[in-house]
Structure 1
Amino acid sequence: MPTTDRLTFAAETCTRCAGDKKFRQYAHVRAGRCFTCKGTGRKLSRTGRAAQKAFEALVAERTGIDCGAVTVGMVIESSSPLGAPWSVDRIDTVANDSGTVTRWAVHVRPTGEDRCTLPAGHTLLRHMPEAVEQAAREIAARYKGASYR
């Protein structure tokens, strides 16, 4: 999901690790990192999770496009497992007969791949930073678990 560094969601101390970020007794598993908070010591509060879900839904509604409607040269945003998290890709070819779209990554993928084929019916997110910022402002105004700076 596209993000903006200006929108923050309400968080609280992780209840699993009590904010310590790791467990010494599990140092042999991913250096003991807490899986609940992903080693940050904090996790989203209930109101923060609700605001984040609303933000993701609003961005998907405003920027989402079906594979069948894309055109060559269109810029989209993608996430794992198809590419690096939140990479920006440019559509390279569209094969309407098979209903597939091939895209070319603008940013280098961790796997070294530079092309990916998506099935028809897959929803893509257009790269529209202005729409994401507008959605962030609206969510911050509507939800007490979000703030926009």
Structure 2
Amino acid sequence: MTRLMSRPVLVALALVLQLALLAVAVWPQLSARLTGTRYRLAVGPVDPIDPFRGAYVMLAYPGLPAASNLRPGRVYVPLAPDGTLWKGTGIVTRRPAAPPYLSCETRGEGPLSCGIDSLFLPEDAARRTQDELGADRAAAVVRVDAQGNAAVVAIEPR
């Protein structure tokens, strides 16, 4: 009888463990969306809409620095106002003392990965957004939490 009762407990524990792992995986994006402060960054397209992925757009941020001769790993980009938008002021390897900043990953060279590199949109909004991005008329609305985790919440006209 004890053996049968332990099976439901083991299944419940396995489900709780899977939910905990899922929460850990999505926590940076979830934290930014729930507790982050709103910033607007200049944005442009990297790729047009991919027909195999649907309304998926890779984004580039001309106001953020690119890595050059850095050790791969975690870096930080302090943000500063630039008119109605915000931009990165450089790349630092130690967490800044105060926000706002982005927490990013680097491979050592090229663009940084800050969690705001792509966006999924409904098909009708994707075409309009792609036109605005291509014409350099768009800003990404990004929410950034106190640890530098970021999430794109919208694309809007500058």
TM-score by length of 2: 0.28
Q: TM-score, normalised by structure 1?
A: 0.29
Larger Rg belongs to? 2
